[in-house]
Amino acid sequence: MISEDFASLLAAAQSGSEPAFSRLWRDANPPLLRYLRVIAPGAEEDIAAETWVQVVRGLRSFRGDEQAWRAWLFTTARRRAIDLARHRSRRPESPLDDVAVAQLPRTVDSAEVALEHLSTAAAIALVSALPRLQAEVILLRVVAGLDTESVARLLHKSPGAVRVATHRGLRRLAQRTADAGVTL
């Protein structure tokens, strides 16, 4: 998070300052990729690039603080991910028989992750094993840094539903890590 420098950086970026925009990008792109790895595994790079293209287009007209900035960024990314999922469901590109086993999406076993000690990647894999809503709310709260209300708006849920999903996801995550003796 950029915090107190965000307003000046945003104003500079809106005026065409490349360093300012670079700072915004370097701050927001890593969590964006981590979020996309969970909701759109395998397409996070493309979706992130498309998201930034759209953000650049609307950068001048954006008004808001850092919370709103992140909410806008992740909302845009989520919409792109949904569009991509719909596109792929309509036009599957290849049958599963032609896909290598290593490329198949899979839910990583927590024990396997514990053995690998892959740090961030392992954490993302653990969160990906959670139910979709619980994984999303945890990522948006922890990775994107959004508050409950922002997450609720982004997911079109009530703040109460977001809180419930967050607690359930954390409980489940704690249980799994405790069961597996995960040490990251």
Partner 1 sequence: MPNIPHSPLQDGPAVTDADLAALLAGKEDVAPGLRPAADVLAALSAEPGPGELAGEARALAEFRRRAGAPAPRHRAHGTAGLSSRLSAKVAASAAAGAVVLGGAATAAYAGVLPAPIQRFAHDAIGAPNAPSAPHSPAPGKTVAPSGQLAPHGQPAASAKPHSPGRHSSRHGQGQQGTGQGQQGTGQGQPGTGQGQPGTGQGQQGNGQGSPPGQGQPGDGQGRPGNGQGSPPGRGQPGDGQGRPGNGQGNPHAEGEHGNPHPRWQQGNPHPHAEQVPYRARHARPARHAPAMDT
Q: At closest approach, how far in Å is the CB of 19 from partner 1?
A: 10
Residues 106-125 that bind partner 1 (CB under 8 A): 119-120, 122-124
Q: According to the binding rule CB under 8 A, does residue 22 interact with partner 1?
A: yes
Instruction: For residues 155 and 158, give the distance between their C-alpha atoms in angstroms, rounded to a whole number.
Output: 9
Residues contacting partner 1: total by CB under 8 A: 50
Q: Is 159 helix (H, G, I), strand (E, B) or coil?
A: helix
Among 16, 41, 42, 131, binds partner 1 (CB under 8 A): 16
Non-local CB neighbours of 65 within 8 Å, separated by 6+ positions = 6, 7
Instruction: For residues 115 and 182, give the distance between their C-alpha atoms in angstroms, rounded to a whole number.
Output: 8
Span interacting with partner 1, options 67-75, 77-85, 89-97, 163-171, rule CB under 8 A: 163-171
Strand ranges inside 13-164, DSSP E: none
Question: Does the CA dihedral 24-134-178-102 come out positive or negative?
Answer: negative
Among 108, 142, 155, 161, binds partner 1 (CB under 8 A): 142
Instruction: For residues 164 and 57, give the distance between their C-alpha atoms in angstroms, rounded to a whole number.
Output: 36
The residues binding partner 1 (CB under 8 A) are 13-16, 18, 21-22, 25-26, 29-31, 33-34, 45, 48-49, 52-53, 56-57, 59-60, 119-120, 122-124, 126-127, 138-139, 141-143, 166-167, 170-175, 177-179, 181-184
